Structure 1
């Protein structure tokens, strides 16, 4: 029994939802998202409440049941409040600037790193903090992971790009022989 699949998703008044066969269409005043579901999951939309039911009793149907419940919930949350990830850039000479549709990073390489900002993503840069906002949870996380991958934090001094809530386990440096 899927606890996530059993959950009924309340759709706020700012989000409109429609069911067309095996497709779920969500939209708010600015954006719209579409979720194509598998035929092993039955979708029910009544009184701004969205629920899913597995079609069969096999393990595959139950797996899809929970997965599509979570995906639909993420879309509803994204369209109503949005998702945010915050990155911190630590290190001497490491800088971040917001260019025209690009994020310009100076991370100690011989060249500046220019990251093109994808559609549907909004970025705010304050000092050495990057805030990534968007309605698609997967895309926000993917963009944050790609930016972090340019210079992941190293364990000796903690230099690099890290998530704001990430704890870096520090290592002791070499000790001199006596």
Structure 2
């Protein structure tokens, strides 16, 4: 049984939630979200809290879906109030990143530059040539964009060269012995 689904979601000051059947609309200082909840879950607002419950409390799959919907709703509330941020680092000689509007130009040791289109709702910054900071209100879109950028040149285990998350630890392999 899901324990996440049993915890209510506190709405911070400045965040409004409107529930219309299975649709939920959350507005905050950084933006707004619309989401349609799963049919096995119901959500209610009690004061400044949102409570997610399964429609059939004896069904394990309904409890699991209630936990998922609670996590998604919590991320929506956090996104519109605080926002999300993901940092990437480039490790390697000549590896560079440069933000230009909604495009990210990457030099990753290929014979051509890599241009990545940044989706709507995500802002990109490059404080230095080897750092990339992605910011936005949708946790899923931020994570997906970071994963796509990392996939151009994932870090390799011998020298650690490539695009890595700032908090990622690369486990190094020992070089071949002759």
TM range (shorter): over 0.9
In structure 2, relative to structure 1, the CA distance for the partners of 1:124 and 1:68 (3 Å cut) is same
Deviation for aligned residue 1:76: 0.4
Q: How many residues align?
A: 176
Which residue is 1:98 aligned to? Answer: 99
CA distance in 2, matches of 1:19, 1:31: 17
Q: Encode CA deviations 1:107-146: one digit per residue, 9 max, x unaligned.
A: 0001000001111001110221101111101000000000
Q: Which whole-Å CA distance do the structure 2 matches of 1:100 and 1:58 have between them?
A: 48
Q: TM-score, normalised by structure 1?
A: 0.95
Q: Secondary structure at 1:6's aligned position in 2? A: coil
Aligned to 1:110, the other structure's residue is in SS state: coil
Q: Distance in 1 between matches of 2:43 and 2:92?
A: 50
Aligned to 2:40: 40
TM-score, L = length of structure 2: 0.95
User: Distance between the aligned counterparts of 1:152 and 1:24, measured in 2?
Assistant: 37
Q: Which residue of 2 aligns with 1:114?
A: 115
Q: Partner of 1:130 in structure 2?
A: 132
On the 8 A contact 2:90/2:131 being kept in 1, the answer is yes
